Structures are given as structure tokens and as C-alpha cells.
Amino acid sequence: MRAREKKTAVQKIALAHLRRQELEQRVRTLPRCSQKEATRYRHVVVEWMIAVCDDLNYSLEAELLSVRYYDRFVHFADEPIPREDLQLVAAAALLLASQFEDVYPIGARDLSWLTDDHFSAAEITAQELHMLRVLDGRLMLATEASFLCEALQNTTTNDPADVVLAVVRQARFFIEDFLEMVPTTHDSLPSDVARTAVDLARARIRREDKND
């Protein structure tokens, strides 16, 4: 009993820290310059990033971090990013997120191949270092994945494992769909997005069960 209470207390402390973090990491400044090309093609770029994460079995946390790194780099860049360099920035964000989060990170050569060799491994690595400088080394960010467990506990209590897995898959789809449409520098909080995604997933699964 004491072990369970201790675990619950630790979880509450961790959750409180994440909630502070998601507020502190909000971008409260205007972009440093106009990013017309990046804004126009963001949906296409993020869609490609999500597809890469799916192909390479990125963890959900690394996937969501990569999109945040991309959005923040665009926001804080001192110069407009030309259309032809957007995929390079995206590849660098994917590399940085994988190296930061995953146990077995993806390599620059693999990402180069996924750009159809349009960008070399050396170019992607150089862009990653530039991104790290622009982000000022601030890589520890709260994401929707950070709050997914809490949202699941609040909505899937006593559900069988197959139902919980189905909710997770659907929630991930809704989160990815939202990120394709809305930049992570927007005011939306990761905890709110995660909770809404789980609620929508749960509602869809219940509707499908009724139809069956």
C-alpha cells in the first residue's frame, strides 16, 4: 500500500512539473522575421515529418519534439527560410529529436536517403548544429505524449487492454492531425490537446461499437 501511495505521489509531482513546464515554454514573442514560405508549406513539411517518424518507428515523444523543434526554429530564425531549405530544417529537427529522446537514434545518412539524397548527411548535421544554437539548447519540452497517460487514466478506467490500445492509436492520429494544422508555437497547451484527443478517440470507438 505504501509503495502504491509513494508511486502516486511521485506521479503527481512529475505531472505538476510538466504543467509548469508547458506554461513556461510558451512562445510569447513575435517571429523575428516574416516566414511566408515556411508558413505556406508548413502542412506539407509536417506531414512529411510524421510519415518519416512512422517509417522509422520514432517514439511518439521524439515525433512530437521534432515538430516543436521545427516550429521554434522557424519562429526564432533571423532570416526567412527559402522553400528549398524547409525539408533540410525538418530533417535536422528529426535528427535532433531522435538523438535527444530515442535509445537508438536515427542517423543523418538515413534522413539524407529519405530526402532522396537532396541533402547530404553532412548538410543535415550542420543544420542540426545551427538549430541547436538558435534554440539556445532548450530541448526539454513538454509534449502531448507527456500528458497522454494521465488523459488515458481519466477516461479508460477498467477498459480491457485492446480498447486502451485502440484509444491510444486513435488519439495519436488526432494529435498528429492537429499538429499538421496548428503550429506548436500557438497558445494551445499540450495537456489540453492530449485530453481532447483521448476524448475524441474514446467517442469514436464507442460510436463504432454501437454501429457493430
**Per-residue pLDDT of the chain in tens (212 residues, 90 and over written 9):** 455 555 566 667 777 888 888 888 989 888 889 999 999 999 999 999 999 999 988 999 999 999 999 999 999 999 999 999 999 999 999 999 999 998 889 999 999 999 999 999 999 999 999 999 999 999 999 999 989 887 887 665 667 778 888 898 999 999 999 999 999 998 889 999 999 999 999 888 888 777 76
Q: Nearest-CA neighbor of 139 among 184, 191, 101?
A: 101
Residue whose grid cell is 488515458: 152
Fold of 32-134: Cyclin A; domain 1 (1.10.472)
Domain boundaries, the chain: 32-134, 144-211
- What's the pTM? 0.89
CA distance 82 to 38: 8
